[in-house]
Structure 1
Amino acid sequence: MTHAASLRIRPTSKGVSYDVRYRLDGASKTLAFGDEARAREWAGLVRQHGPEFALTWVKRDVGPTTPTVAEYADTYIASKSGVEGKTLDHYRMFMRRSIGPWMGHLPLNMVTPEVIAGWINEQAAPTREVDGKLPRPLGAKTIKNRHGFLYAMFQHAVQRGVVDRNPCEGTNMPASESREMTFLSGDEYTRLLSFIPPYWQPLVQTLAGTGMRWSEATALRPGDFDLEAGVVRVSRAWKDSIAKGRYLGAPKTSRSKRTISLPPGLITLLRPLVEQRGELVFTNRHGNAILQQTFHKEVWAPARNLANGRPAFDIVKDHKPHWVPNRGGHEWHQEPASVGDRIHKEPRIHDLRHTHASWLINGGTPLPVIQRRLGHESITTTVDRYGHLSPDNLTAAALAVQVAMAGALPEIES
């Protein structure tokens, strides 16, 4: 809800008064200021947060040394060590697009849980136009990420005695509506793989056979492999930032640095690529690093279309009249899958990682082992994402309890 406030300049015996007119409980009110900048700032608070909040700002002794949210955010972001450039870019984007316009002007100790709640509601269901139109609503995960940054920033301020409480504590967050993971059976994966051009199949097989993240697999060097021992070492991944562009750095978390055992068939498939001793094991056709966006557009999406019985490219939608069979070395000569062979699923590239986890679970691999193989920082992540895929484990748990309690439970008569 937007509140009205207007500024009027009124001559007085002592000079000029800056009067802000607003409405409270249905009645017109006026608050006078001797300073125009302060009057305009207060009028902005009324419009954005309502007169009740704005009046508490006037009555409260904020203090000249209390930094605003925008000022403290600059300090907090600058203090972050060991954080990758892309993460810092996101923090600055949060301030520029979302947090700054809503509360960046407020002193830290004027931010209340109600201000935080209003900010969250405005992101989930925008009511204020920007450049003449309403912004699109943000998803629950995006809002959660921005709130997480703000929570950490206020916690930083609490620990340093700048404020005495964190207004982000206990915030009710929007319900998450994350996209469902897609799991492929062995047969479905084989059918999808048959539509991947041979040049790209070793990369896809590595993603599915190891559960690596895209950024990890495409950063692999020949020296990361020990084919005689049948393992590969993950020690780096591709990163992005505004300052550095695309560069190689440490994997996502400390546990992401790991050694993964390779299926025997994958070792045979990868040996020629590893023994070439190039800078990277997987490259595009020009010998350069592979970009996920390009791979998705030119390889993954067409193969997925074919596996679902559709043409590789929608000529009208994709504007690709030059994509014809056997041109440019892209090998899109396959006919779409017949009705009986379609996979009827729309997996993302990252779903190969989820599919890998589902195969491990179906094979009886314990979740802690899966955690280490996938490089999850916490077993909680593994359980939350994949625990529901192992109903047999739940059944076994119930039977184990039954055995332990056999002497105390009544006999069941047939």
Structure 2
Amino acid sequence: MTFVASLSGIEERTRHDYERDLRNHILPTFGDLDIRDGNAIDRTLVRTWVNTLQHGVADPVNAKQWLRRPLAPKTIQNLHGILFAILQDAVEADPPLRTSNPAARTRLPRLDDGEGGEGGDEMVFLTEQEFALIRACAKPDVRDMLTVFVGTGLRYAELAALQVRDIDPFGKPVPTLRVRRAWKRQADNTFKVGPPKTKQSRRTVALSSEVMDAVLPNIAGKGPKEFVFNSPTGSWWRHSSFYDRRWIPAIDDACSRGLTKRPRIHDLRHTHVAWLISEGIPLAAIQRRMGHKSITTTIDRYGHLLPYVDQDLIDAIDRALTGSLRAVA
């Protein structure tokens, strides 16, 4: 806990989450051990801990119950990152508390292994027809919101914090919206509006005519600082409320009508990217639109969606070889 308390440059909610993860997942294994003892905290213990997180601990009495549920690969990577940072801090202390970091080079579960446990992180991509079905099954008061969501790729916290003054209906050459704020959960579980996730998240997003048609009815007659999308009570749409009262009922209804997927709300953002890639939009443009910090993030997350260009590759090699052989001849 001392390490987390001393971290600088992080939000209090992040510190709160780190402390929760320490209590729930790290201290039960490492809490009673001396961080200076290289024999007690070694690579074998770290690997055993990771395997336990991945596979869980079944209840020996009731096979259908868990003493500790399996965790998603992304969650395991995050927990391992905290442990690595704590041990590395001990290595770099003055004087050093230990000579090496046993969490270094640990093989972790792959994010694409399809075995993420409950609430896994596998992305779901919707076709245009599948999204249209979900939208039709949703209550009318959120259909425009869903259109803007999938039509812009905004994060939910950004979309819910969108205000009338962020919309420029007369932008040149096309209408735009500016992402300048997002809802952030605080340590006491309340929310407040703050800056977006990263510097790159502050961005201007071009709006198609279809998206603009969904925006206009929701800003008519409102003041500049009012939210574009409101719940039935007139407040902003809190994620948990939107999920329980609008998203899940729409997905359940869509599944009863033939939908074979159960997407999360965030999968509308993934779907937006998939549609752009299918139209041949360059990844660099997608990176800027999505507010990714690095093009590497975009490639790592969505690179597998890129179409194969084998013929183009072959043609390029043939041209190079033909040129080199002519030069020799």
TM-score, normalising length from structure 1?
A: 0.67
Q: CA deviation at 1:114?
A: 2.6
Q: 1:271 to 1:172 in 2, by over 3 A?
A: same
Listed one character per residue, the Cα deviations across residues 342-388 of structure 1 (whole Å, up to 9, x for unaligned) are 34332221111111111111111001111111111221221122222
Is 1:202 aligned to 2:147, yes or no?
Answer: no
Q: 1:284 aligns with which of 202, 207, 231?
A: 231
Q: 1:99 aligns with which of 11, 16, 26?
A: 26
Say which structure, 1 or 2, has more relative contact order (CA 8 Å, 6+ apart): 2
Q: Which residue of 1 aligns with 2:219?
A: 274
Q: 1:355 aligns with which of 253, 266, 271?
A: 271
Q: Which residue of 2 aligns with 1:147?
A: 80
Q: 1:345 to 1:118 in 2, by over 3 A?
A: closer
Query: In structure 1, what is the Cα distance between the partners aligned to 2:268 and 2:284?
Result: 20
Q: How does 1:159-174 map to 2 (within 5 A)?
A: 159-161=92-94, 162-163=96-97, 164-174=99-109
Is 1:250 aligned to 2:195, yes or no?
Answer: yes
Q: 1:409 to 1:87 in 2, by over 3 A?
A: farther
**SS of residue matched to 2:82:** helix
* RMSD of Structure 2 on Structure 1 (CA): 2.6
The letter for the 2-side match of 1:380 is T
Q: 1:345 aligns with which of 230, 236, 261?
A: 261
Is 1:233 aligned to 2:193, yes or no?
Answer: no
Asked which structure has the greater CA Rg, the reply is: 1
Listed one character per residue, the Cα deviations across residues 223-279 of structure 1 (whole Å, up to 9, x for unaligned) are 112121111111221121333622222222222221111112222331232341252
Contact 1:225 / 1:233 at 8 angstroms: preserved in 2? yes
**SS of residue matched to 2:205:** strand
Q: 1:122 to 1:345 in 2, by over 3 A?
A: closer
Q: How does 1:109-188 map to 2 (within 5 A)?
A: 109-110=36-37, 111-125=41-55, 134-161=67-94, 162-163=96-97, 164-176=99-111, 177-178=115-116, 179-188=121-130
Percent of matched pairs sharing the same residue: 37
Listed one character per residue, the Cα deviations across residues 267-305 of structure 1 (whole Å, up to 9, x for unaligned) are 233123234125211110111121222222222222222
Q: Which residue of 1 aligns with 2:161?
A: 219
Is 1:305 aligned to 2:249, yes or no?
Answer: no
Contact 2:287 / 2:294 at 8 angstroms: preserved in 1? yes
Q: How does 1:14-33 map to 2 (within 5 A)?
A: none
Listed one character per residue, the Cα deviations across residues 174-232 of structure 1 (whole Å, up to 9, x for unaligned) are 34434432222223222322222221112111111100111110011111121211111
Q: 1:251 to 1:271 in 2, by over 3 A?
A: same
Q: Which residue of 2 aligns with 1:374?
A: 290
Query: In structure 2, what is the Cα distance between the partners aligned to 1:78 and 1:151?
Result: 16
Q: 1:155 to 1:245 in 2, by over 3 A?
A: same
The letter for the 1-side match of 2:80 is H
Q: Which structure 2 segments of 5+ residues have no match?
A: none
**SS of residue matched to 2:36:** helix
Query: In structure 1, what is the Cα distance between the partners aligned to 2:189 and 2:251?
Result: 33
Q: 1:127 to 1:214 in 2, by over 3 A?
A: closer
Q: 1:127 to 1:185 in 2, by over 3 A?
A: closer
Query: In structure 2, what is the Cα distance between the partners aligned to 1:160 and 1:302?
Result: 53
Query: In structure 2, what is the Cα distance between the partners aligned to 1:217 and 1:235?
Result: 11
Query: In structure 1, what is the Cα distance between the partners aligned to 2:44 and 2:306?
Result: 42
Q: 1:185 to 1:409 in 2, by over 3 A?
A: farther
Q: 1:355 to 1:124 in 2, by over 3 A?
A: closer
Query: In structure 2, what is the Cα distance between the partners aligned to 1:379 and 1:157?
Result: 33
**SS of residue matched to 1:180:** coil
Q: How does 1:63-102 map to 2 (within 5 A)?
A: 73-74=1-2, 76-102=3-29
Q: Which structure 1 segments of 5+ residues have no match?
A: 1-72, 311-336
Contact 1:85 / 1:240 at 8 angstroms: preserved in 2? no
Query: In structure 1, what is the Cα distance between the partners aligned to 2:59 and 2:122?
Result: 32
TM-score, normalising length from structure 2?
A: 0.83
Q: Which residue of 2 aligns with 1:21?
A: none
